[in-house]
C-alpha cells in the first residue's frame, strides 16, 4: 500500500524448516536512505508505540508479529487518521516521511518485535519527535 507520506508492504515468508525469512524487495531501497540511527524494541499486548511525528527524519520500520496488530497514521496536521489491521504471523516493512504522525498498536496477545531505522541521528538535546495522536488504546 502506498501514499505520499507512508507506505507499507506485507512481506512474503520464504523460510524453510529452519524458520521464517522475509526478504525486502530491492525497490524499497532504490531511494537513498542514509542510515543514522537504529533501534530494536518490543511492544507488549495492549500497548502502543508512536503517536508522534518527526519534523525532519524519515523512518523505516520492520514489524515482526505472531498475532493481531494495527498501523495508524495521518498525512500531516489537520488530516484525519487512517489505519490498517494485520492478523497472524507476518513481517511488514513501513516507510514514514517527515510530518506524518504514526503509531503501532499491539491488538493481539503476543509480543511484537520492531526494528526502527532513521535517516537522522537521535539527539536527546535536539528532539525530532513531537506528539500527535492517531490512535488510542
The domain tally of the chain equals 1
Task: Kindly state whether residue 75 falls inside one of the protein's structural domains.
Answer: yes
Task: Kindly state whether residue 79 falls inside one of the protein's structural domains.
Answer: yes
Bridge partners (DSSP) of residue 94 are 8, 61
Task: Kindly state whether residue 14 falls inside one of the protein's structural domains.
Answer: yes
CATH of the domain at 99: 2.60.120.10
What gap in Å lies between CA 85 and CA 50, rounded to an integer? 16
Task: Kindly state whether residue 59 falls inside one of the protein's structural domains.
Answer: yes
pLDDT in tens, 66-121: 999 999 999 999 999 999 999 999 999 999 999 999 999 999 999 999 999 999 99
Full domain range(s) for residue 116: 6-131
Whole-prediction pTM value? 0.93
Amino acid at each position: 500500500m502506498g501514499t505520499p507520506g507512508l507506505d507499507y508492504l506485507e512481506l512474503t515468508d520464504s523460510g524453510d524448516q529452519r524458520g521464517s525469512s522475509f526478504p525486502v524487495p530491492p525497490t524499497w531501497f532504490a531511494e537513498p536512505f542514509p542510515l543514522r540511527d537504529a533501534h530494536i524494541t518490543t511492544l507488549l499486548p495492549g500497548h502502543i508505540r508512536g503517536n508522534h511525528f518527526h519534523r525532519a527524519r524519515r523512518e523505516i520500520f520492520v514489524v515482526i508479529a505472531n498475532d493481531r496488530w494495527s498501523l495508524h497514521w495521518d498525512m500531516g496536521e489537520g488530516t484525519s487518521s487512517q489505519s490498517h489491521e494485520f492478523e497472524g504471523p507476518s513481517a511488514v516493512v513501513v516507510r514514514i516521511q517527515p510530518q506524518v504522525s504514526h503509531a503501532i498498536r499491539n491488538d493481539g496477545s503476543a509480543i511484537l518485535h520492531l526494528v526502527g531505522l532513521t535517516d537522522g541521528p537521535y539527539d536527546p538535546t535536539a528532539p525530532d519527535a513531537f506528539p500527535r495522536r492517531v490512535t488510542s488504546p
